[in-house]
Structure 1
Amino acid sequence: MSALWAWIILAAVVATSVIVVEGGRRLLAGRLSARWPSVGRVARRCASPAFAFAAVVSTNAAMPYQYMPDGPDRAVEHALRIAAIGATTWLVLRIAYALTDPPLNRLMRIEGERNRRARRARTQMMLLRRIASVVVVVLAVGAALFTFPDVRAVGAGVLASAGVAGLVVGIAARPTLGNLLAGLQLAFSDALRLDDVVVVQGQWGRVEELTLSYVVVWLWDDRRLILPVSYFTEQPFENWTRHSSRVIGSVELHVDWTVPLDELRTELHSMLKEHPLWDRREWVLQATDVQPNGLVTVRALMSAADSASAWDLRCDVREHLIAYIREHHPQALPRFRTDPDDTLGGGLDSPGGGPDADGGRHAGEATAGQGSKDEGPRSGGSEAGGYAMAGARNFDRNPGR
């Protein structure tokens, strides 16, 4: 057989292998994908490495090395062998990712009571996939290196002194191995999962990414806090969704003693019943503290399905209660009392606050300003006190509002 026919056969073999792969891709991504959509997605994602694998393997099998010079033929054979290892690794990794992405996406969309178990399974699957990818890549690199005769000789010497080499490698890679073991411990001990709401170093955020070496926490202001995995096995941290994704949110208001708690409690319940973020489980409104400056601390608790919903629900409840108190009970706006006779409002039945309202009001302003200057912020700070007094003045000027 002449050299020309040998090269023609090589081109025919490569073309045939590529045509076969293209036919399989069209069959899987066309007719079968209508019945099994996941098969079509896998075929489309694996098309490129499949073409590379078919071209490299067919070229290595049909290459006419006998018609090549002695020097270049060995170099070409060696290069094709390494290319075959790389194409095989690429194809295996792409198949693994294509097969595991659909279940991971389904687990990501699960809400409600099954959300915690779904996040645990998703975390473990992702870590196992990363570990398998690392193992495959390391084996592929090792196989490619062992195609060199000099590296095989060095490898035999290393195997002969495996104890010393293992000790040296273990000491050098101690942080990496520690993070790897810490990642496995976090994933399979269920201490930390993807989308968990955590408080780390005083920062509130959600676990966005969990790898074998680091953890990415997505903070509430769109910053990313990146910490080594070993941090979460050595340092304390808060996990708000450890046992359940359901979160109880709280809203605190500092109002005057004259606030009608029963009406406020009824208004809160009416508002929660119409709110889509309330999970219909728990709610309560209580006076949790009485302060000596004439203010009472009112705390409202409400439950939500997850931390994001709880945050939005808290903001909505806070805004609604503030608007309700300002519009329906302006006499309950926070004020600083200075007249000991004004125990229950001292004529607060009338919007003007009695005959001594002006004197008491100006005295209260002076006392509030002096207190914020000498003693620091009280009851929300000097700005909050200024806003409260401004609200009282507006009410005095417009008693009909």
Structure 2
Amino acid sequence: MASVAEFELEWNAWIGTLIAAVVAIAIVAAIVISARFIAGRARGRSAWIADLERRIRIPGMVLAFVIAVWIVCAANAPATLPWWQVLERVLLIAAVLVGAWLLSTVVTFGMERLMQYDSRKDATSPEARRRKTQLTIMNRLVVVLIAVIAVGVVLIAVIAVGVVLFSFPEVRAVGTSILASAGVISVIAGLAAQSTLGNLIAGVQIAFTNSIRVGDVVVIEGEWGTIGEINLSYVVVYIWDERRLILPCTYFTTTPVETWTRRSEKIIGTVYMDLDWRVPVDAVREKFMEIVTASPLWDQRSANVLVTGSEGGYVTVRFKISAANSDDQWDLRCLVREKIVTWLQQEHPEALPVTRVAMEDRPAG
């Protein structure tokens, strides 16, 4: 009769646990539905609220359910069982991981909103690109810091689980394996983090020393492109022909980099032509000014024609032109080269380069 009474007592305790679990699920569901309703009502006036709700919906629901299960188990029958300490550590690990997920999502959303607000005021100036680069690096640095803290807490919790299991003779081997695995993982993570830490420090240095910024036009490894992404460990350069060049952050702290937009996007370009000595320089200069004046690509800062060389049977004519940015400057150089060549072919073919050969008559015999 005593065993029957004990069974009824345990059964009643588990019924209470089940009822508490159902109530907790209902409360969590009510909170989620209310949050979605409020976000839906506010969507017309504040679109960012709906966007935030959409992003945190899944991690928020998961975290709420984990916490609800934790509270229900701690207040009812599972808390009296021998394996409760192991389950409690598992729930702690789940709560830490999901909480880190939720917190990193909120941080990323806040940084993106701040960058959007800043870009509406100014999106193209060097100062705006500097702020965008620093905010991007700060966002990723905070996310990495959250992940490192979460992994540290999880590792401590795993070690605690191993210690608890080690205290039970039946599962002592499992506890020993968990402790050994945690030690091996810690050593491997420490070794693997050495190069990552170097790139991480270089990424922070790039962001706050303002050496390069997102949107800067650069020439790297003989390739012309734009800085598209600056991450904590690597930088992505968007090459002009839609290729992508990925370089570690340490590259930019140890290797010289040619940048065309350090202080301003304005840039001066040159076109060189080797022409015959008979070229009419004044007429070429007049035609050149006619071409650049008619082009909207010229920013009217600088334009001239000079003879810069006279070696090898040719004269070298340099056309200097300025533009508001590197794209306009490239197009303007191509335009000048094409127009001048066509004009010389039609109006002054004698100015085109030729090769002269002198024939000497030798006396007979």
Same fold (TM over 0.5): yes
Alignment-derived partner of residue 145 in structure 2: 135
Matched residue, 1:126? 136
The whole-number CA distance in structure 2 between the counterparts of 1:15 and 1:274 is 72
Aligned to 1:206: 226
Tell me what 1:328 maps to. Answer: 347
Is the CA contact 2:89–2:161 (under 8 Å) kept in the aligned structure 1? no
Matches within 5 A, 1:1-400: 3-28=14-39, 30-63=40-73, 66-68=76-78, 70-71=81-82, 73-105=84-116, 115-150=125-160, 174-293=194-313, 295-338=314-357
Q: Distance in 2 between matches of 1:77 and 1:172?
A: 31
Q: C-alpha distance in 1, partners of 2:264/2:226?
A: 14
Q: In structure 2, do the counterparts of structure 1 residues 33 and 172 end up closer, same or farther at CA, with 3 Å as the change threshold?
A: closer
Q: TM-score scaled by structure 1?
A: 0.70
Distance in 1, matches of 2:353 and 2:148, equals: 67
Deviation at 1:182, TM superposition (A): 2.3
Q: Distance in 2 between matches of 1:285 and 1:199?
A: 26
- Mapped to 1, the partners of 2:85 and 2:215 lie a distance apart of 53
For residues 40-67 of structure 1, the C-alpha deviation after alignment (integer angstroms, 9 at most, x for no partner) is: 3222222221222222222222237643
Cα distance in structure 1, aligned partners of 2:292 and 2:194:
53
Amino acid of the structure 2 residue aligned with 1:315: C
* Cα deviations by residue, 1:122-177 (Å, 9 ceiling, x for unpaired): 11111111111111101111112222354898xxxxxxxxxxxxxxx999855433
The unaligned stretches of length 5 or more in structure 1 are 154-168, 341-401
Instruction: Return closer, same or farther for 1:151/1:208 CA change in 2, 3 Å cut-off.
Output: farther
State the TM-score, normalized to the length of structure 2. 0.77
- Given that 2:13 and 2:76 are in contact with CA atoms closer than 8 Å, whether structure 1 keeps it comes out as no
State the alpha-carbon separation in 1 of the partners of residues 218 and 121 from structure 2.
20
Please give the alpha-carbon distance, in whole angstroms, between the structure 2 residues aligned to 1:64 and 1:175.
43
Change (3 A) 1:338 1:196: same
SS at 1:46 equivalent? helix
Please say if residues 287 and 297 of structure 1, whose CA atoms lie closer than 8 Å, have aligned partners that are also in contact. Answer: yes
Matches of 2:117 and 2:343, distance apart in 1: 42
> In structure 1, how many angstroms separate the alpha carbons of the residues matched to 2:32 and 2:337?
62
Once residues 19 and 312 of structure 1 are traced to their aligned partners in structure 2, the CA distance between those partners, rounded to angstroms, is: 60
Query: In structure 2, the residue corresponding to 1:233 is in which secondary structure?
Result: helix
1:255·1:296 contact (CA, 8 Å) conserved in 2? yes
CA distance in 2, matches of 1:296, 1:137: 64
Q: Tell me the SS of whatever aligns to 2:236.
A: strand
Q: Distance in 2 between matches of 1:330 and 1:111?
A: 50
Query: Is the 2:89–2:160 contact (alpha carbons within 8 Å) kept by the matching residues of 1?
Result: no
Shift of residue 184 of structure 1?
2.1
State the match for 1:360 in structure 2: none
Greater alpha carbon shift after TM alignment, 302-311 vs 170-179: 170-179
Partner secondary structure for residue 295 of structure 2: coil
Contact conserved, 1:279 with 1:303, CA < 8 A, in 2? yes
CA offset digits 1:83-103 (Å, max 9, x no partner): 111111111111111111133
Structure 1: how far apart are the matches of 2:226 and 2:217?
4
What is the CA–CA distance in structure 2 between the aligned matches of 1:329 and 1:271, rounded to whole Å?
Answer: 17
Change in 2 beyond 3 A, CA 1:100/1:277: farther
SS of corresponding position for 1:34: coil
| Pairwise CA distance, 1:108 | 6.0
Which letter maps to 1:57? I
Matched letter for residue 305 of structure 2: L
CA distance in 1, matches of 2:344, 2:116: 45
Q: For the Cα contact (< 8 Å) 2:17–2:76, is it kept in 1?
A: no
User: What amino acid maps onto 2:226 in structure 1?
Assistant: R
Distance 1:280 1:201 in 2: 32
Superimposed CA distance per residue, residues 221-245 of structure 1 (whole angstroms, 9 cap, x where no aligned partner)? 4443333322222232222222222
